[in-house]
Amino acid sequence: MTSNYYALTRDTPADDDGLHIGQSANGWEFLFRAHTPHGLTTTAARTAFLSQPQVRVRAENGVEMPAGEFLLWATTRPEHSASAIRERPR
């Protein structure tokens, strides 16, 4: 199952989804979407944008979460990710 996530500001129209941040899919690593026109192409830029007080993060199912909580979740690698498998002792 996949879920899309969006950033909303005070200027986001009520009938608009907001800026698509990215997608989670079946517990794998979160996939961030780059937004070159907005300068959102690096983790640092996304963190700075999402941490602004007027920005809210909303999942497509309508659940909102604080930016700090979202960023911690979205940037933490799941236990079964490829990097975790490579780092696991044999």
pLDDT tens by residue, 21-45: 999 887 778 888 999 999 999 989 9
**For 39, phi and psi rounded to 5 degrees?**
75, 20
Tell me the torsion sign for CA atoms 41, 88, 1, 58: negative
- Confidence band of 80 (pLDDT split at 50, 70, 90): low
Cα separation, 43 vs 46, in Å, equals 5
Would you state the structure tokens that stand for residue 50, as one six-digit string? 């999402």
Beta pairing class for 64-65 and 19-25: unpaired
